[in-house]
A = this chain, B = another copy of it.
Amino acid sequence: MSAAKKTPKVKDTPKNPRIGILIADDHSVLRQGLVSLIGFEADMIVVGEASNGREAVDLWRQQRPDVILLDLRMPELDGVGVIKQIRADDENTRIIVLTTFDGDEDIYRAIQAGAKGYLLKDVPREALIDSIRRVYAGETCLPVHLANKLAERIRGGSVSEREIDVLKLMAQGKSNKEIGSVLFVSAGTIKSHVKSIFAKLNVNSRAEAVANAAHRALIQL
């Protein structure tokens, strides 16, 4: 079950294999930063750069990197989609999510999908390099406050898919009746959903629910 069972596709020095890394981020400046940082490490090498999700999957199939640094917010195919596709092919792939936002929902979905690490982009470089080595070694790597958020998210009871549908329409200013017509159920049903949403988010108005849900990245605005 070693990650390197498929001989790493590093073109040189077969006697000193380096950790092959694939970078997937739509921000070219950030990609450059990662390439540059990793370039300082003798035991690592960047084997590919993708600027969107589809490219990331393609490059992964070609290069079979040891570790993937993945942004969640990307065009074409988002990070969670990338994780799912890649792990459908090889569930041992080491994926580190590297993102700006720390909305609960993003973390949760990434970890659910099989990410082994989750870092915020403001990590100092040592922590980043350290995480790559640890995830490559098979460890799971989560900053403390993110682990806490995960725990909290599990404690708090999850908001169901249906409730998120309702939340999205709520954020568009729709009334219960309007939401009902969109979702083909009665306004009363929506009312019940709204009540349970309030309970789960611990809020007491639609406006607050929208603010809270956006903050938790349950919905995108």
Interface residues of A (CB under 8 A from B): 26-37, 98, 100, 121-125, 128, 170-175, 203-212, 214-215, 221
Contact = CB atoms under 8 A, between A and B. Distances in A.
Given A36-B35, A214-B214, A221-B214, A27 B122 contact: yes
A121 B29 CA distance: 7
A155 to B, nearest CB: 21
17 contacts: A27-B30, A27-B121, A29-B125, A29-B128, A32-B34, A32-B37, A32-B125, A33-B33, A171-B211, A172-B208, A172-B211, A173-B205, A207-B209, A210-B210, A210-B211, A211-B221, A214-B221
Number of this chain's copies in the assembly equals 2
Nearest to A127: B28
A205 B208 contact: no
Nearest to A205: B173
A36 B100 CA distance: 20
A30 B121 contact: yes
A78 to B, nearest CB: 15
Contacts of A124: 28
Contacts of A122: 26-28
Which 7 interchain pairs have the tightest Cβ spacing?
Answer: A173-B208, A33-B33, A173-B205, A36-B36, A32-B33, A206-B207, A171-B211
A187 to B, nearest CB: 15
A171 B122 CA distance: 27
A36 B32 contact: yes
Contacts of A203: 173
Contacts of A128: 29
A180 B51 CA distance: 48
Given A32-B34, A100-B100, A171-B208, 4 more contacts: A33-B34, A206-B206, A214-B221, A215-B221
Nearest to A216: B221
A213 to B, nearest CB: 9
